[in-house]
């Protein structure tokens, strides 16, 4: 298979060449946008990692926004970590991929799916548009799972505490109470081992209100196939 290695600087130039969605972009256009970035950055190169953080950073210089399960296990083994422990180690490298030209505030999110794949998410801001048109890292992450057919988000490590909107966004997933989250920002860094543990989503969203409060439990939620009941009409009508 074709082997391609991109440096971080080349990657950023590639992303800059991608046309940003306009103000009326929808979830589908966001998915297409992420797919375009994925095509620009995808590589079939085998990941080779070392134990040090420096080598983890070097691996992230060839990002694909998805790390296959076998590669994640290899990275963890070579780094002397478990796959779960690997997630927070990838947050800072993921932040380098964020595109926040307005706020200059880089956010990175790293998630673990049910099949062992690791997914990345970053925040995106669009020059000339209001800040509320931004894509948050947690939204990018969930959309990345959807693009790649992963129906379950089990763990998420993020560089900063999610905003209220993103906390609710995660709450909209199936079995949101099972999602475990770790915030790696400096205010959470201490010698206390408790600060290094993943905690349930409810720890940052107490008394949640979500789909189960309104919908039948069989109703498809985010990341699940939907039958919208739509059909194409004949052009002769």
Residue 191 in this model has a pLDDT that exceeds 60: no
Question: Using one digit for the tens of pLDDT, what is the confidence trace for 34-91?
Answer: 555 444 444 333 333 344 455 555 555 555 699 999 999 999 999 999 999 999 999 9
Q: Report pLDDT for 156.
A: 98
Per-residue pLDDT, averaged over 197-220, amounts to: 93
What is the DSSP code (8-state) at residue 198?
-
pLDDT grade for 217, boundaries at 50, 70 and 90: confident
When pLDDT is averaged across residues 159-183 and rounded to a whole number, the result is 96
d(CA 50, CA 64): 19
Q: Which of 71, 73, 78, 138 is catalytic?
A: 138
Alpha helices in 148-201 (DSSP H): 164-171
Q: Is the pTM of this model over 0.75?
A: no
pLDDT at residue 97 is higher than 90:
yes
Q: Look at residue 102 and tell me whether its pLDDT is greater than 50.
A: yes
Q: How many CB atoms lie within 10 A of CB 177?
A: 13
> 224 in helix, strand or coil?
coil
Please write the tens of the pLDDT for every residue from 3-18.
333 433 444 444 444 4
Give, as one character, the DSSP assignment of residue 159. S
Average pLDDT of the chain is: 78
Helix 27-41 with 137-147: angle, nearest 10 deg: 80
| pLDDT of amino acid 88 | 96
Q: Which two tokens stand for residue 185?
A: 């920002």
Q: How far apart are CA 91 and CA 107, in angstroms?
A: 8
User: Could you tell me the two tokens for 203?
Assistant: 């720890």
- 193 is a catalytic site residue: no
pLDDT of residue 62: 52
Domain architecture of the chain: domains with CATH: 64-213 (3.40.140.10)
User: pLDDT band at residue 237, thresholds of 50, 70 and 90?
Assistant: low
For the packed helices 164-171 and 137-147, what is the interaxial angle rounded to 10 degrees? 30
Q: How far apart are CA 54 and CA 179, in angstroms?
A: 29
Mind giving me the DSSP string for 84-129?
Answer: HHHHHHTHHHHHTT-B-TTT----EEEEEETTS-EEEEE-B--TTS
Give the separation between CA 14 and CA 19, rounded to whole angstroms.
11
The whole-angstrom separation of Cα 177 and Cα 79 is 30
* Measured CA distances, 167 to 50, 94, 98, 173, 228 (Å): 34, 20, 19, 11, 26
Which has the higher per-residue pLDDT, 227 or 95? 95
Query: What share of the chain in percent tops pLDDT 90?
Result: 57
- Under the banding of pLDDT at 50, 70 and 90, the label for residue 19 is very low
Which of 106, 110, 115, 55 minimizes the C-alpha distance to 80? 55
Neighbouring C-alpha atoms within 13 Å toward the C-beta of 97: 31
């Amino acid at each position: 298979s074709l082997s391609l290695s991109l440096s971080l600087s080349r990657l950023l130039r590639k992303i800059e060449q991608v046309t940003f969605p306009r103000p009326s972009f929808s979830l589908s256009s966001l998915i297409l946008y992420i797919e375009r970035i994925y095509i620009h950055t995808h590589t079939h190169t085998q990941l080779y990692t070392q134990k040090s953080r420096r080598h983890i950073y070097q691996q992230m210089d060839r990002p694909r926004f998805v790390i296959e399960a076998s590669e994640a296990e290899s990275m963890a083994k070579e780094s002397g970590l478990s796959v779960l422990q690997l997630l927070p180690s990838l947050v800072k490298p993921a932040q380098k991929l964020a595109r926040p030209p307005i706020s200059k505030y880089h956010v990175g999110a790293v998630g673990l799916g049910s099949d062992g794949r690791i997914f990345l998410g970053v925040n995106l801001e669009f020059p000339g548009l209001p800040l509320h048109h931004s894509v948050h890292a947690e939204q990018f992450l969930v959309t990345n799972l959807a693009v790649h057919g992963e129906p379950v988000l089990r763990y998420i490590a993020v560089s900063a505490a999610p905003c209220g909107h993103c906390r609710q966004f995660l709450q909209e997933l199936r079995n949101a109470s099972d999602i475990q989250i770790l915030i790696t920002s400096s205010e959470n860094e201490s010698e206390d081992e408790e600060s290094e543990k993943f905690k349930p989503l409810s720890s940052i969203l107490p008394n949640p209100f979500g789909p189960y409060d309104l919908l039948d439990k069989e109703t498809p939620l985010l990341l699940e196939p939907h039958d919208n009941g739509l059909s194409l009409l004949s052009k002769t009508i």
